[in-house]
Each structure stands twice: as structure tokens, then as C-alpha cells.
Chain A
């Protein structure tokens, strides 16, 4: 680490301030609470000095100076506002407005436009120019990017964010002087990552979004910050919602307030792919199969039917005749509830989900260590990063953004080991191409197994890479699902030897949460093996779970084919298509599917329940790094229900006392556990814990936060600050230390989602935006098949 830069003293508007040497004057002022107007300056991007709004007076310097290009100097005396400066800025605005169409009443940016704000501040609305304005028609550059040339103020922010930030370089500036114009890379259209960063960063309404343009105005919406439901990176996306006939409609997504781990970054999915929720094909009423056809029914009829069938099977054939498949996109609370429901109400451990990373293997390998996982924030500040496998540009766009910015802004060193020429090679200090499938051998090589090198590549290059890595302090190691099972252990050993932290990359928004919450036939929440529960957890509900490990997803289907699985409950998953499972296997199995669409699995079901998506409910997600974040309800479709509510209702219809599932307020006669001793009884213990944490007991059995209380109490690593979580901050969870021993991890069951930047499992299939961009068909493996979640 370099020494901290020395501090410089200066005076701004009569106020003495200090800033580290090398700070830009505009930043130093901002940090001291003095705002200097600017258009072209943007934190984190290169300096442009194009707009001249940031002019200030610096004593001993002739003329006004641009504070965005001036570095603080010892003894500088700066004035940021006086008549001369005011007049200069006003003149600048007049020039900017000279050819501006002033069509604010129809412009998307109206109400949130930096040019509007400045014009109001400086009163430059009247103009001395009499020339006729030069009109140009709006151009469509892609399904998501539109350009309205006369509105452009040539701040070059879009050009820089696309090039420097995204490393796409799809936008450029052509001509010069008054004829300068922003140009797309394909002459009349764009071929790019379609991230919309350029639209977001545009201070005016020159770049507008295909999804949002001319649909509504900023002040007509509510803005709800929640977590993206697509990949596993956990970007915060702020959804603008507006009342509609059916509830609340999501109008747009962005993250202009830079809340969350992603700052203002969002990829195309987080920004635009909320449109699946408005797809006409979405199921909005429960469907029951009558005479071999799925027909609309009431929720009551559906719950009654499901409850009676599940009860019948459980009581007649036992819990082992029922299977449950969970989702990578449901919340932690829902996943926790689902497995609790399976284990307590259905009396079965037959519960699984589509596995995209070996989290149990990761937890096993980390046994006996502490604080060895990195958060998404660490990736943006670590001095060095080792990336093994995966292609973050396609599969973990935020991770790629963090890496790129860390390399660009902090000169971090990126070491990439991959079997493909992935795009991040451009940022890599060392890029090592290995043969496909030798990622595990590379891990072995790292811990000194030199014979493993032969299958990986040139031993000399590998040796030098290993030497470099050994010299790195504060390394973050991110690895894809190429590394699983026995290969994780050496990687952890290596990380331990150099003090590195790890990230195990999984697909889908909450695959980590699905694993942590125990959607496994052999593991409970917190990775407690079902067969060997010991200690205090026995006293909680976990002690009542069946001790015999259940069937994996694939085994459930063979059991169904063999007539041994009589009922199957699928929540937010589409296993039939993904795993090439025989659809006929289910013909004698009573199947319930909860989803938004009639997927291949749903069409086989006896009952289909319309579920809300992650944008339509509250709860929490854990991203692939283990960062826990809060979801807030943004959109709403009145006739659907959250998976949480559906599960509770089914339990209730089965005659189960739902207090045993969701510890909500037990009613008037509840005591705080004092009369019977603090540790007696589940609900009471829970109340004692709540009181100790200063948390109110929940009144509704459908409130996921009631279960979050229990998760925080029972799942090791989830005891994070509740206050911070509720305030919308990401909280890094730790993986539980399982002490010694191995967890059952089944690396053979891991099937990556094969999603690209432009696909997103089932949701992607129903997103018009994702399907409309021309880049959509690139790089999707031929045999990727139909996604599961």
C-alpha cells in the first residue's frame, strides 16, 4: 500500500479546507460541502473540461479556471460564486441553449434534468440568438437506446462511461466545433452491451430509453429501491412504479442515487428486464386440471385441493412419497419457509433446487477458517484479484464492472485463468489460457502440486504466475462453477497461505440464499446435515425434521417414474426441461407448480398457482458473495400471491398451526417466556430473542420479516446488523464454520444456467427487451437448452 498522500490546505469562499494532494478542486469543494455546478465532470470518469460550468476564481491566476481540471494547491484561495462567475456560467448556459429545442414538456428528462436545474439557478432562459434552431429527428440506435441530437449538450459523459466504464467503446464523437455529434459504433445503430449506462448518465434528455420514453414523468412515479432479480450479483435497482389497472406497474429501473453495492451500474437486465411482469402470457389466476385441461379456479378451491391431496399422500404413503423443488429466485424467507414446510408439514427431506454452484463444497472447504469470503465491495477495492473460470462480462456483469473499475481507477492487478479468451483479459495483468476442464488442476498446482501443471499449460508461465500470486497481499479470488467438489479445498488452502478472500460464483439472483436456507435433501438452513443434528439446534424445529436424507431433484424424478413419488410441489422452477427429465415420469404424481408462466413443468401440473415475482414482494436476497440485501415491494399484480403467502396458506389448509412455521405474534395470552422459563417453547424463545434484539413481533403470518428474525437467530453467519439491512445497506454474511467433517456436496448435480448478458432463465424467455436486442442470440451455447429457474 502506498503512503497516504499528504494534505493540502486551501481556502474556499473564506472557509479553510484540507484535501489530499492531487484531489480535483471540484471534489475538494464537494467534500467540504460546497457544490460547484458541472455538466461534463463525472466522478470516476476521466476529466473532460468541456462544459465550463465549473468556473471558479482562483487568486493569482488569470481568468476564471475550470475547477474540474484544477488540482488543489497549497495556499490556494478560491471563490466559487460572485457576479463575474455567475455571469460566466450564465453565458455558458446561453451557448448550450442556443440550439437546444427547449422541449421540456415532452422530454423524458423533464423534472430530473440537470440543464433545467441550472437554467433555473442562473436564469439563462432568454437568449440573444435569433438564428433558426437546427432540428434533427430523433434516431433509434437499438431497442433500448434512442438519441435526440438537438438536446445533446456535448458533455461526453456517455462516450466516457461506455468506453472507460463499460469497456465497450460503442459511442464516439464526430465532427468538431458546433457540428460535433455523438455517434454510435455501427453508423446508424449500436451494437453493444445495451446496458443503458449512457442513457442514465446523460444529464439531459438526449439519450432516452426505449422502455421508458414518453410513457410517464418522473414525478408521477414512486421510486422503490430493491434488488435485481436476474444474476447473482445483487445490484440495487430503483424501480419507478405507477398505479395501473391491475395494481402497480413498473415503469423503469435505474440506480441514479448510487445506493447499493453497484453504485450507478446496472446491466441491461437490471435496468430493463422487469418487463416479464407485464407479459400477457403471465398466469394471473390459479389453474386446476379438470378433464385433462388446466382451467381457471379460485384460490380457495386450489388450496383445498392441494391440501387434501398432500395430506392424503403424506398420511397414506409417508413424507418420502412427496417431493419439493425450490427456486433460485425466491427470497431467503421463502426458501427457508419452503424447506421448513417440507420438513415439518410434509414430513419429508425430499427437497432440492437447481444447483449452479457447489456451496456445500465451499462451506466444507472453509471449515475451521474465519472471515475468508469477500464481499462485492471488496472486489472494487482489493489490490489484486484472481479470477478462475467463469466469464463475468456475460454471467456476472456487476463483478466485471467492479473489476474493471478497480483496475482502471486503483491500478489493481487482475490475474485471469480461463479456458476462453474472455473479455476481461483486456484488464488482466496476467491472462493465462488453460485447456477446458483443467481449472481444478490449476487449483492443485497453486498449493504446490507441480505435477498438476502438465495438464494446465506451460509450466514456466504457470510458475511465474504462482510466484506473483504468492506475493500478493489482500488478494480476492473469484472462481466459477468449473471449480467444485474436491478442487475447492486446495484453493482455500492457497487463499489461507496468502491471506486471500474468496468468492464462489453461482448463477441466479438468490442461488446463494437457496443454498444457505437449506434447499437440500441432506442439509438444513446453515448447512446443518439433517442426519447429525447436535446441540441446541435440536431444541428448535430443526430437531423435529426427519433425520433420513431425502431425494435429490433427479432422484425425485426417477422415484416418480417408478411410482414411488406420489406428489410433487415445485416453487419457481422448471426442472423438466432443464434436466431432460422424462415428462411422463409425472403422469401419476400429483404435481403443484407455483410460477409466473406456463413453463414446461407447469403445463404438466395438476394445479398451477400464479406467483408474484421478486419485484412484487419484500424479503431478502443473498448475492453470490454472501452479501445480504433487502427487497422491497415495487410492482403489484393484485390477483397473484407471493410464494410466502401461498406456502403459509397451503400449510393452514392442511390443518397445520402456522405459528409453528412463521413465528408471528401469538396473540393476547403470549407471555415473554418468563413464566415458563426463557428457553421453553419455540414461539416463546423467539419472543425472548426479539425482545433482546429490540425487534417488534410481527402481526401477520404473511410477513417475511417474521421469518427473517428466525433466520438471523438460527442460521450462523446471518447475525448481521438489522438496522443497516433495513436501511437498505448490504450486509456481508459469513459462511458457517462446520468445524470438521465434510458436507454432502454432489458436484455432479451442478448445472450452470448458461445465461449470457442477454438471457436470464425463465424470466429472460418472457422479457421482450432481452429478446428484442440483436445481441441476444450471440454466444448462447447451442445445447444450453431450456433454463430451470
Chain B
């Protein structure tokens, strides 16, 4: 499998940072996911080969992180935190609101392929709970209205 030249350079540079190849596994997976859209079987086999691990080991790591996905996701991946701090500050109703608004449930994608939704554990934004993450962007101190605005924003972005 071929990656873009940019990604190839990135991988090559990262490899020089560590004594063992497997150390670059997690960032590599993230970058590959960004490029391919998700971690396909082919991508996993390729990454395993490059870092000299078995495919099983690569899958083990992927399954550990909610940011890594084995299935194609929507253009915008919404991860709503419902862990303790967020839960206390209404994270669960934010999640419910998203479900209603998008018409999909946990780990599902809208038919137009725009949004995916997921309930996740703590994303490290407890001080600004409730919080959610859309791709790499954080949105904090959420309310239902705020969520509506954010989602509309993304919809607009997609149309541009």
C-alpha cells in the first residue's frame, strides 16, 4: 500500500526519533487514518509490516483507543464525553440531544456520510465539562443550543 509522499516523509522522520520501530505505532495509525479515512485491513497490514509487529498487535492497539477506527466514519466524527465530570454537568443529555438531532445512535453514521456519533470516556476536558470532540477540535461548556450551532457550522463547512 502506498501512502502520500507527505505521510511517507513523516513516517521516515518519526522512525529516527526512537530506538525501536514500534514506538511510532500510535501516531502512524492516526496519520494513516487521517489519510485513508479509517484503518482498513490493508492499512493495518501495511503499518504492521513497517513497524515490525503482527497485525494482531496493531489491532490490539487500535481497539484500545477510541480515536482509532476500524470502520469508515462520517466526515465529522463527534465524540461526546459522558464520563464522571461531564456526566455531572449534563454530558448524557448532550449525547441524547446529538442523537435526536442527527437521528443516529452510538457508533452510527448519518446516511449522508457527514456525521458519526460516539459516546466516549474522559477526553481530558473535565474543567470545561460537558465537552465533546469533533475530529481534532474540542467544544466545551456545552448546552443544547451550543451543540445546534456547532453542528450547523459543520454542515455549512461541508457545503463549501
State the A residues within 8 Å of B (CB). Answer: 169-177, 183-185
* A172 surroundings in chain B (CB, below 8 A): 54, 56-57, 59-60
Pick from B57, B63, B64: contact of A169, CB under 8 Å: B57
CA distance A170 to B60 in the complex (A): 11
Complex: chain A residue closest to B54, CB-CB: A169
Q: Contact between A185 and B63 (Cβ–Cβ < 8 Å)?
A: no
A-B contact pairs, 8 of them (CB 8 A): A170-B54, A172-B57, A172-B59, A174-B59, A174-B64, A175-B63, A175-B64, A185-B56
With the chains together, A124 CA to B64 CA distance in Å? 30
- Beta-carbon nearest neighbor of A181 in chain B: B63
User: Is the beta-carbon distance between B64 and A185 smaller than 8 angstroms?
Assistant: no
A185:B60 contact, CB within 8 angstroms: no
> From B58, which residue of chain A is reached at the shortest CB distance?
A172
- Residues of the B chain whose Cβ atoms lie less than 8 Å from the Cβ of A169: 54, 56-57
Report the Cα distance A171→B57, complex, angstroms.
Answer: 8
A173 to B55, CA, bound (A): 12
Taking the nearest CB of chain A, how far is it from the CB of B121, in angstroms?
Answer: 8
Residues of B within 8 A of A185 (CB): 54-56
Question: Which of chain B's residues 121-156 have a Cβ closer than 8 Å to chain A?
Answer: 121
Q: Is the interface of B mostly helix, strand, loop or mixed?
A: helix
The distance from the CB of B20 to the nearest CB of chain A, in whole angstroms, is 14
Would B57 and A183 count as touching, CB distance under 8 A? Answer: no
A184: chain B residues at CB < 8 Å are 56
State how many residues of chain B have any CB contact under 8 Å with chain A: 9
Q: Cα distance A175–B64 when bound, in Å?
A: 5
Beyond known contacts A176-B63, A183-B56, A183-B59: 11 more, CB 8 A cutoff:
A169-B57, A170-B54, A172-B54, A172-B56, A172-B57, A172-B60, A175-B63, A175-B64, A185-B54, A185-B55, A185-B56
Contacts of A175 in B (CB 8 A): 63-64
- Nearest CB of chain B from residue A50's CB, rounded to whole Å: 14
State the Cβ distance, B62 to closest chain A Cβ, in Å.
8
Binary interface profile of B, 64-81, with partner A (CB < 8 Å = 1, else 0)? Answer: 100000000000000000
**A173 pairs with B60, CB closer than 8 A:** yes
Q: In whole angstroms, how far apart are the Cα atoms of A236 and B121 in the complex?
A: 49
- CB contacts (< 8 Å) of A174 on chain B: these are 59-60, 63-64
**CA–CA, A183 and B54, complex, Å:** 13
Using a CB–CB cutoff of 8 Å, the interface residues on chain B facing chain A are: 54-57, 59-60, 63-64, 121
Chain B positions within 8 Å of A177 at CB level: 121
B54 touches A176 (CB 8 A): no
Distance A174 CA – B58 CA, assembled complex (angstroms): 10
Cα distance A730–B160 in the bound complex, in angstroms: 78
Query: What B residues does A173 contact at CB under 8 A?
Result: 60
Q: Which residues of A contact B56 (CB under 8 A)?
A: 169-172, 183-185
Residues of the B chain whose Cβ atoms lie less than 8 Å from the Cβ of A176: 63-64
Closest A residue to B66 by CB, please name it.
Answer: A176
| Chain A residue, CB-CB nearest to B41 | A187
Residue of B55, B56, B60, B63 contacting most chain A CB atoms (<10 Å)? B56
B57 neighbours in A (Cβ, 8 Å)? 169, 172
Contact residues in A for B64 (Cβ distance below 8 Å): 174-176
Min CB–CB distance A685 → chain B (angstroms): 62
Q: Which residues of B contact A170 (CB under 8 A)?
A: 54, 56
Across the interface, which residues of A come within 8 angstroms of B121, CB to CB? 177
Chain A residues with CB under 8 A of B59:
172, 174, 183
Of chain B, the residue at the smallest CB distance from A168 is B54
State the CA gap A174–B60 with chains docked (Å): 5
Q: What are the 5 closest A-B residue pairs judged by CB atoms, nearest first?
A: A174-B63, A172-B60, A185-B56, A172-B56, A169-B54
How many angstroms between the C-alpha atoms of A183 and B57 in the bound complex?
10
How far is B56's CA from A177's CA once the two chains are assembled, in angstroms? 19
Whole-angstrom CA separation of A169 from B22 in the bound complex = 15
Which residues does chain A contribute within 8 Å of B60, judged by CB atoms? 172-174, 183
Q: State the Cβ distance, B37 to closest chain A Cβ, in Å.
A: 21
**Most A CB within 10 A of own CB, among B60, B64, B121:** B60
Taken together as a complex, chains A and B put the C-alpha atoms of A183 and B55 apart, in Å, by 12
Identify which of A172, A177, A184 gathers the most chain B CB atoms within 10 Å of its CB.
Answer: A172
Q: Within the assembled complex, what's the spacing in Å between the Cα atoms of A177 and B122?
A: 13
| Chain B: minimal CB distance from A142 (Å) | 15
Alpha-carbon gap, A174 to B121, bound state (A): 17
On chain B, the residues within 8 Å of A183 by CB distance are 56, 59-60
- How near does chain B come to A185, taking the closest CB pair, in angstroms? 4
Distance to closest chain B CB from A38 (angstroms): 24
Q: Which residue of A lies closest to B65 (CB)?
A: A176
Distance between Cα atoms of A185 and B63 in the complex (Å): 14
Q: Report Cα–Cα, A560/B64, bound state, in Å.
A: 69
The residue on B at minimum CB distance from A176 is: B64
B63 to chain A: which residues have CB within 8 Å?
174-176
| Closest-CB distance, B14 to chain A (whole angstroms) | 23
Q: How far is the CA of A174 from the CA of B70 in the complex (A)?
A: 13
Please report the C-alpha to C-alpha distance between residue A169 and residue B60 in the assembled complex, in whole angstroms. 12
**How distant is the Cα of A184 from the Cα of B54 in the complex, in angstroms?**
12
In the complex, A170→B55 CA distance in Å?
Answer: 10
Taking the nearest CB of chain B, how far is it from the CB of A172, in angstroms? 4
Task: Give Cα A407 to B17, complex, Å.
Answer: 27
Q: Which residues of A contact B55 (CB under 8 A)?
A: 185
